[in-house]
Structure 1
């Protein structure tokens, strides 16, 4: 609500305008500066004694409007910045877009506020569209531009959210997440002052030009870093500001010092970093990518709020509550070489182990003696691989064993040797300077073109509608940087973002036509693990990592990027593994989405029993995972940590903790803060072996004492309030 519970519109009735927008989880205060621009001067959680947003660190009071930032900063050709440097502040438009009014209200569990800003010199109007799920301390923001002037504008950058007046860089740690192929979700922390040096601002009468800036590039939006970040107070105050940029293509965020405080700027693609520009003709509109900012009393608290927000913003689907177990034949198993002979025994073994979906991964279309990488695109089954009854007979066998059949597909690429490369018009592909782009022997479809979309619609409708496939793993294994320049594109970054949005719109259309279909999003593992795509797809591949000893830090950190019910974690036990390694690789997936693989058909009865026990355990807890929020008793995992832990807290219910030991001492104590001070019952759910380890609640110490006598070792522990314990 704004000021009152009623939605209302107000205008600048006086030289200084101020208003408050609030609900049970979030409160924001706005005020105009002397130049007429509106500023966000306070953002926190109502009733919090530690403010969670734009506040002065010394007084915890609302900051002066001149100390905060304008609601919008943007650059356009002929309208640049007011100073030199890498920061996204101080633009010419930022000081000219004056407050003109606002609307607010509630709908369908969300609160909304739209603020209208206007530049009389150019006629440019900006609508700052703020939304928040009712009761959650999360702010979502995007900006819509409308050219109401007589002359066109070429926009080069525009902010999605600006927040100034944060505490001094002296008091803050900044958190970032490296996200590399086979090494996803690697968070690291450093003082903000390590990048933004103290230059003695008062002596220069000028803010520092330094900034900590992070960008994503190309068609893999999460290659290099997750489009996320966080600030936490270093003095133990606990306040946390956690953000994500929901861009399926380029993005940028930067932090710096301003007026003795810290500012945060969140952007989609820009001209400088991504070759993105947009022609805004008179009457034309442009909307930025959304961003989200979660407030918390610590990193775990903010991550929990962001997890709940991600559930609120995504497309509804039954899979998000059913959480079926998926067997995929690729990882450490068939590795892209499926045949009827190899698949039939795997199908039987997967069904016996308790799998509910069976996905045939890459290679099912491969009938080319020269290899399939540069010949894909038609997506027809190989008669050579499936000689008796074809692929349909294998899909029928999956259904006969009580599982839903799935197939791997890489829809956006067409191999240079594929007949589809010449069947579709040149305009249906990515291009630069009139030349069709080629990456690793493949062309990239442009889903804005009707022929490209019609080709993929025909493909999916055949696979899902005619063949009865209920699961699609949609992969994407090339990266195009900086994008495409089709006719009408001003710059390649704009073409890339246009295609990326068209791809998501295509996914919406597929799910509208096939509402029961489950879609897994994959791009060489986690190279497309962005909020925009996660809001459409049902599952997210977290990694292609094949070493079971290296997957735990990825599995433990994956809930920072994706809710547990969407995060696909490989569990690939092998007949050559001993019991400890089998239970280790299985246990790592039990607080996510189990992606079972491995040569189960070659296992002994005892080994298959271990797999079946783990799958059965998962089925008893998965309903809790669909509403749980994550926490990390040992902090976010390091890549080489000997011990790792991931927790899931169910509101009003039990808590679960997965613990891995890869080395170090055999015993460890870890705090579980939300249960501290009470009696807690511990139950070891996995593995079932009595000598696997112990878990004891230390009521006096306020934590969990875990012992794992051997490496590698893993436990899944349930914690409930009560005195009775299963220490084993």
Structure 2
């Protein structure tokens, strides 16, 4: 393992930032990191320690401390900002938190640095907790606050990660990703100056107050935008890529500061999310983590963030085996499962090569009027849908055909028509001003309440422990904003964050009891595609998109948010599709987690053979996907792009996979594959497996010339190098 970079301040505790009275003066700074990342710290004239450099070792020199930001910025009632504006910088408490101590260490493959700050006026102590995995240019930061004073504090915002001294806005482009239902992961680029105008600060004697602010809202943390962003320096390509790991509210902002640019990552705030937390004497609060990757280009940064996501998540065998899942919902049964409909579908899915079979919504619905929506909650099987032998007949058939049975649940909701709506205590549900919240015919459970938790534990232990279900698709189809004010909550945003963390704790306990269980996270597709949830669950739904021609930009961009072995991509071939469209919908899922659907039981032998070939191909490459990192030869896809491309490269670059889609435009495309430009490469078309619908030729400069004569068309290509 690479050694820890020397701490130039000497000992790991105290260093050169020494104290006198209530303040601290500077006799130097200190550095921390490893072979792939170096962080430099110094103290500004006001006595606040600051992160003055974050880059690869040997990168640009640290900036002047006055150009950087304090390590922590926060607001509390009675302790606001030093100036008015949309930015949470220049806060009163942030300028009073002085350096007191720092410690470094190592846990396994992770390096850590804790920096202790203190405000003598309020007695507030802040611990900046920084971690980084060996060999990755990625920094993870969170802030733990403790009230060591005698008066209570009501927090309104706390930063998770602050970085100033970045290049001037004139040189930077901002990348962010719109994330809407049926249209997830739509990245777009704009100049930072488009939002943060040049006001000629020298004339005014004041920095700009403008900021590019992005915030998530409600219980769908990725509704509207992914909690991610990036800065790219024009010319050099240097990239700063970040994510806020919040299962609820989040915010990031960019602004101009001291002739440079600053980045601030926050969890929920009072201004955007009605979030306030009270700290009595001795009480603590810890922020959601903020994560930042630094690299020479966007693909490199995305690769580092992908590796980080693998390092931080809960270990599970599913991440290495990548079994094929058949789900009966999409474009198939659509919430109307019965024994009669399922048995032939189960047989066909097994014949095609599926390894898991998930019965989706409706299996619990005994009504004849769509009660699967507002009657949910008890999670008992319908006798109307499964009349002879119950749902056990279906689950047994799945096992007999060599597959693992799965079921869909929406655990956090209780329908207004469910008996549980009256049986559970009122405080087990989200509420505001003492009134239980209702959204689209559902109530929202609060997983901090023991009765809500006990209800779900009983249901899961019955389904998994007694029925032998090995796969759960956990959906969430309502959004609650801004949250709940259960007894003890100071604000609805704080109640929402408390529930969100309780939900993740509950998931972890379920997996502790049932370690072989596989859990897919879904919220109307990708409305809960956040880093906190990805670290606990094994799979992530990427979309509910039902049009096979509109899925490619989602599938191509999904690895920007989800490692490929966790990103569930629908492939729903239908008997009425022609061969090209069957190959197209199958091919788009082969570099992710293939989620098969469609009426396979109605297909001809020829059509089913096309499905079988695709699954054989997938099974031959899936172990490589579990270690590969993504790249985009054409750049991140646009929603209406006629050609799209997604690549996966192995850590040693000996194996590269490339999916290319054509939805229109010219029949030929040139694709640069920069990391293989100087290598001897063998080119193979893996999909379509029989009678490929196109060709791939490698030019002398290493670029690929891809020909797809018909639309829609898709190719999966393997590039092998020595």
TM-score of the two chains, using structure 1 as the length reference: 0.96
CA deviations 1:55-83 (Å, max 9, x no partner) are xxxxx431111110000000000000000
Correspondence for 1:706: 706
**Deviation of 1:267 (Å):** 0.1
Q: Is the 8 A contact 1:7 1:106 kept in 2?
A: no
- Secondary structure class of the residue paired with 1:40: strand
Q: Please give the alpha-carbon distance, in whole angstroms, between the structure 1 residues aligned to 2:365 and 2:574.
A: 26
Q: Please give the alpha-carbon distance, in whole angstroms, between the structure 2 residues aligned to 1:4 and 1:275.
A: 41
* Counterparts of residues 15-54 of structure 1 (less than 5 Å): 15-16=25-26, 17-47=28-58, 51=59
- Secondary structure class of the residue paired with 1:392: helix
Q: Please give the alpha-carbon distance, in whole angstroms, between the structure 2 residues aligned to 1:530 and 1:211.
A: 24
* Counterparts of residues 63-82 of structure 1 (less than 5 Å): 63-82=63-82
Correspondence for 2:362: 363
Correspondence for 2:641: 641
Q: Please give the alpha-carbon distance, in whole angstroms, between the structure 2 residues aligned to 1:424 and 1:100.
A: 49
Q: Please give the alpha-carbon distance, in whole angstroms, between the structure 2 residues aligned to 1:170 and 1:676.
A: 32
Q: Please give the alpha-carbon distance, in whole angstroms, between the structure 2 residues aligned to 1:227 and 1:321.
A: 27
Correspondence for 2:415: 415
Correspondence for 1:684: 685
**Deviation of 1:369 (Å):** 2.6
Correspondence for 2:270: 271
Change in 2 beyond 3 A, CA 1:32/1:208:
same
**Deviation of 1:677 (Å):** 2.2
Q: Is the 8 A contact 1:7 1:105 kept in 2?
A: no
Correspondence for 2:556: 556
Report runs of 4+ in structure 1 exceeding 6 Å deviation: none
Q: Is the 8 A contact 1:2 1:104 kept in 2?
A: no
**Deviation of 1:22 (Å):** 1.6
Q: Please give the alpha-carbon distance, in whole angstroms, between the structure 2 residues aligned to 1:497 and 1:215.
A: 15
Q: Please give the alpha-carbon distance, in whole angstroms, between the structure 1 residues aligned to 2:548 and 2:692.
A: 21
**Deviation of 1:375 (Å):** 0.9
Q: Please give the alpha-carbon distance, in whole angstroms, between the structure 2 residues aligned to 1:152 and 1:218.
A: 27
Q: Please give the alpha-carbon distance, in whole angstroms, between the structure 2 residues aligned to 1:36 and 1:538.
A: 45
Q: Does 1:435 align with 2:418?
A: no
Correspondence for 1:171: 171
Correspondence for 1:618: 618
**Deviation of 1:214 (Å):** 0.1
Q: Is the 8 A contact 1:37 1:98 kept in 2?
A: yes
- Secondary structure class of the residue paired with 2:440: coil
Q: Please give the alpha-carbon distance, in whole angstroms, between the structure 1 residues aligned to 2:434 and 2:542.
A: 36
- Secondary structure class of the residue paired with 1:422: helix
Q: Is the 8 A contact 1:677 1:699 kept in 2?
A: no
CA deviations 1:257-299 (Å, max 9, x no partner) are 0011000000000000000000000100000001110111100
Q: Is the 8 A contact 1:231 1:240 kept in 2?
A: yes
Q: CA RMSD in A?
A: 1.1
Q: Structure 1 stretches of 5 or more lacking a match?
A: 52-59, 723-728
Correspondence for 1:283: 282
Correspondence for 2:254: 255
Q: Does 1:13 align with 2:12?
A: no
Aligned residues: 709
* Counterparts of residues 225-264 of structure 1 (less than 5 Å): 225-235=225-235, 237-264=236-263
**Deviation of 1:689 (Å):** 3.3
Q: Please give the alpha-carbon distance, in whole angstroms, between the structure 1 residues aligned to 2:263 and 2:546.
A: 37
CA deviations 1:574-629 (Å, max 9, x no partner) are 00000000000000000000000000000000000000000000000000000000
Correspondence for 1:335: 334
Q: Please give the alpha-carbon distance, in whole angstroms, between the structure 2 residues aligned to 1:316 and 1:679.
A: 36
- Secondary structure class of the residue paired with 1:10: coil
Q: Please give the alpha-carbon distance, in whole angstroms, between the structure 1 residues aligned to 2:367 and 2:307.
A: 46
- Secondary structure class of the residue paired with 1:35: coil
**Deviation of 1:691 (Å):** 4.7
Correspondence for 1:541: 541
Q: Please give the alpha-carbon distance, in whole angstroms, between the structure 2 residues aligned to 1:142 and 1:337.
A: 45
Q: Select between 367-376 and 654-663 the one with higher mean Cα deviation.
A: 367-376
* Counterparts of residues 359-508 of structure 1 (less than 5 Å): 359-372=358-371, 373-508=373-508
Correspondence for 1:629: 629
- Secondary structure class of the residue paired with 1:644: strand
- Secondary structure class of the residue paired with 1:341: helix
Q: Please give the alpha-carbon distance, in whole angstroms, between the structure 2 residues aligned to 1:392 and 1:328.
A: 18
Q: Please give the alpha-carbon distance, in whole angstroms, between the structure 2 residues aligned to 1:146 and 1:61.
A: 34
Correspondence for 1:725: none
CA deviations 1:89-147 (Å, max 9, x no partner) are 10001110000010001111000000000000000000000000011000000000000
Q: Is the 8 A contact 1:2 1:19 kept in 2?
A: no
- Secondary structure class of the residue paired with 2:568: strand
Q: Is the 8 A contact 1:102 1:115 kept in 2?
A: yes
CA deviations 1:379-403 (Å, max 9, x no partner) are 1000110011110111000000000
Q: Is the 8 A contact 2:7 2:31 kept in 1?
A: no
- Secondary structure class of the residue paired with 1:66: helix
Change in 2 beyond 3 A, CA 1:7/1:706:
farther
Correspondence for 2:668: 667
Q: Is the 8 A contact 2:685 2:692 kept in 1?
A: no
**Deviation of 1:678 (Å):** 2.4
**Deviation of 1:7 (Å):** 7.8
Q: Structure 2 stretches of 5 or more lacking a match?
A: 20-24
TM-score of the two chains, using structure 2 as the length reference: 0.97
Q: Is the 8 A contact 1:77 1:154 kept in 2?
A: yes
**Deviation of 1:3 (Å):** 2.9
**Deviation of 1:718 (Å):** 0.3
CA deviations 1:186-238 (Å, max 9, x no partner) are 00000000000011111111000100000000000000000000000112x01
Change in 2 beyond 3 A, CA 1:2/1:114:
farther
Q: Please give the alpha-carbon distance, in whole angstroms, between the structure 1 residues aligned to 2:446 and 2:689.
A: 51
Q: Is the 8 A contact 2:5 2:35 kept in 1?
A: no
Q: Is the 8 A contact 1:678 1:699 kept in 2?
A: no
Correspondence for 1:3: 6
